[in-house]
Amino acid sequence: MSLTGIFPIDKWNFKSQSIFSNLPDEEYGLLCANKQEQTYEKGEIIFKEGGIPAGIYFIKHGKIKKYKADRDGREQIIYVANTGEMIGYHAILGEDRYPDSAAALEDCTLHFIPKEDFVAAMERSPILTQRLLKALSHEFAVLSNTISVFAQKSVKERLAIALIVLREKYKDDAVAGEPVQINISRTDLASIVGTAKENVVRFLKEFKEAGIVNSQGRKIQVLDINRLIEISNYTN
């Protein structure tokens, strides 16, 4: 089921998928000259906050959590990046260290592009620079929207929004004719919502009893997306 007209999903998802699409051959060749394919197992760290960036990552397959951790190691997941998206480029554009950490939510395959190649392609390609600036602008709007909305919502409403957004991210993995399955730990889900794991478990049980979701282990199926949107109390 499409969310068009019933939930503004674009306000919750980054748009880095098309940055490399249809670039001139020369610029694309620069980007791919020393490209490396890397695999990460679920839970494996890709980069850590404060680290010095050596390049950028294009997600060939899988999902990556971008998060910040406090002094006690408690995580706040700020975004889940999906297949086709790029991560790690903000630090290079800002000539700074990584502002957050990234780890695999599931087994992932990434393409690593060295910093020097990325910068060389960017300096040569006005198209790439324009797309990067557009993507950065949209990402800022997404993060601002998330912070603003979550600050005003109850835990139950935030969980409903998180499930709506995650369902959209897992749609491409679904088998035709079968419900979309969100595969995420309760700990990570609580980290997205910004609450204790116990609250997520309690509200998921409530949603399940109401026939809104079904769950088994890590896997959550959204059975009634319209009811979730009602609970989220967020439609624009």
Pick the CATH number of 9-148 from 2.60.120.10, 3.30.110.30, 2.60.40.650, 3.30.565.10: 2.60.120.10
Q: What is the pLDDT of residue 235?
A: 64
For domain 154-232, the CATH architecture is Orthogonal Bundle (1.10)
Paired tokens of 72: 């006690």
Backbone angles phi, psi at 171, to 5 degrees: -60, -40
Q: What is the pLDDT of residue 236?
A: 63
Helical segments of the chain, H only: 25-32, 89-93, 115-124, 126-152, 155-170, 186-193, 197-209, 225-232
Q: What is the pLDDT of residue 1?
A: 60
Per-residue pLDDT of the chain (236 residues; tens, 9 = 90+): 668 778 989 999 988 777 888 888 888 888 899 999 999 999 999 999 999 999 999 999 999 999 999 888 889 999 999 999 999 999 999 899 999 999 999 999 999 999 999 999 999 889 999 999 999 999 999 999 999 999 999 999 999 999 999 999 998 877 777 778 999 999 999 999 999 999 999 999 999 999 999 998 899 999 999 999 999 998 66
> pTM for this structure?
0.91
* Residue boundaries of the structural domains of the chain: 9-148, 154-232
Q: What is the pLDDT of residue 177?
A: 74
- Please name which of 121, 105, 107, 103 lies closest in space to residue 55, comparing C-alpha atoms: 121
What is the pairing mode between strands 45-47 and 108-114?
unpaired
Paired tokens of 203: 């509200």
Q: What is the pLDDT of residue 221?
A: 94
115 touches 35 (CB < 8 A): no
